Structure 1
Amino acid sequence: MSELIPTKPYMLRALHEWCVDNNLTPHLIVAVNAQTRVPMAYVKDGEIVLNINYSATKDLHIDNDSVVFSARFGGVSQNIYVPMSAVRGVFARENGQGMFFEADLEQEEVQFSADHAEEDAKPAENKEELNKSKKPVLKIVK
Structure 2
Amino acid sequence: MYSRFNIEATVVYSIYQWCISNRYTPCILFMPSVNNNLPDRLVRLEELVINLSRKAVQKLTISNEALAFSSSFSGLTHNVKIWFVQLAAVYGLEVGNGVTMYSYPFARVKRATINRNTINSKTNFKVTFCINEEFETKP
RMSD: 2.2
Aligned position for 1:31? 31
Alignment size in residue pairs: 103
Q: Is 2:11 the counterpart of 1:14?
A: no
Distance 1:32 1:42, change over 3 A: closer
| Secondary structure at 1:35 match in 2 | helix
Higher strand share: 2
Q: Which runs of 5+ in 1 are unaligned?
A: 108-142
Q: Is 2:102 the counterpart of 1:102?
A: yes
Which protein has the larger Cα radius of gyration, Structure 1 or Structure 2? 1
What's the CA shift for 1:77? 1.0
What amino acid sits opposite 2:47 in the alignment? E
Distance, in Å, in 2 between the alignment partners of 1:97 and 1:44 is 27
Distance 1:104 1:95, change over 3 A: closer
Higher helix share: 1
Distance, in Å, in 2 between the alignment partners of 1:49 and 1:42 is 10
| Secondary structure at 1:55 match in 2 | coil
Fraction of identical pairs, as percent? 22
Aligned position for 1:52? 52
What's the CA shift for 1:95? 0.9
Cα deviation digits, residues 100-130 of structure 1 (max 9, x gap): 112456x9xxxxxxxxxxxxxxxxxxxxxxx
What amino acid sits opposite 2:12 in the alignment? L
Distance, in Å, in 1 between the alignment partners of 2:56 and 2:21 is 16
